[in-house]
Amino acid sequence: MKDRVFFDSNIIIYLFDKSEKDKHELVKYLFYKNLQENISYISTQVINEFIVIASQKIKSPLSLEEIKKRIDFLNTVLNINIIGLNTCYKAVDLRLRHKYSYWDSLIIASALENDCSILYTEDLQHEQVIEGKLKIINPFEKQG
């Protein structure tokens, strides 16, 4: 049975931003490997964060036309969770319980809502398990 995995915004940024070559290459490998082996998700939050970061905050910002092409690609190969009110409520509960920022809690809530077992991110505690089912994996963490 295929796992369900969720990619945080920073992972999607590294997929397209080549300025940090090592991270870009690792994420590219991870991304395509998961497309073949698992069911992969992002949320509308990830798309919105990608638009802002890719157009304004990376070393070589992308044009809005290029960003639209990347979004079309993501829409073709990933499942996209549309954030609704229930996801927001879940994020508030996670924030209260785990003391994460609301935005990190919203990512976690989206992953849980889609029954994901893995959340790829560099923002949260590596190998932490949320609600007994969602494991946080930082792909850049040195494996001992």
User: What range does the domain containing 133 cover?
Assistant: 4-137
Backbone angles phi, psi at 49, to 5 degrees: -65, -40
Query: Per residue in 99-130, pLDDT tens?
Result: 999 999 999 999 999 999 999 999 898 999 99
pLDDT at residue 143, rounded to an integer: 56
What is the pTM (predicted TM-score) of this model?
0.94
Q: Assign residue 130 the CATH number of its domain.
A: 3.40.50.1010
Q: Is 34 part of a structural domain of the chain?
A: yes
Would you say residue 82 has pLDDT above 70? Answer: yes
Domain total in the chain: 1
In this prediction, residue 142 carries a pLDDT of: 72
Any domain includes 143: no
Whether 125 is in a domain gets the answer yes
* 5-49 per-position pLDDT tens digit: 999 999 999 999 988 899 999 999 999 999 999 999 999 999 999
What is the pairing mode between strands 39-43 and 4-7? parallel
Residue 54: inside a domain: yes
Coil vs helix vs strand at 8 = coil
Distance, CA of 65 to CA of 59 (rounded, Å)? 17
Per the listing, tokens 């304004």 go with 56
Check whether 144 has a pLDDT greater than 50. no
pLDDT at position 2:
87
Q: Find the angle CA(110)-CA(72)-CA(64) to the nearest 5 degrees.
A: 100
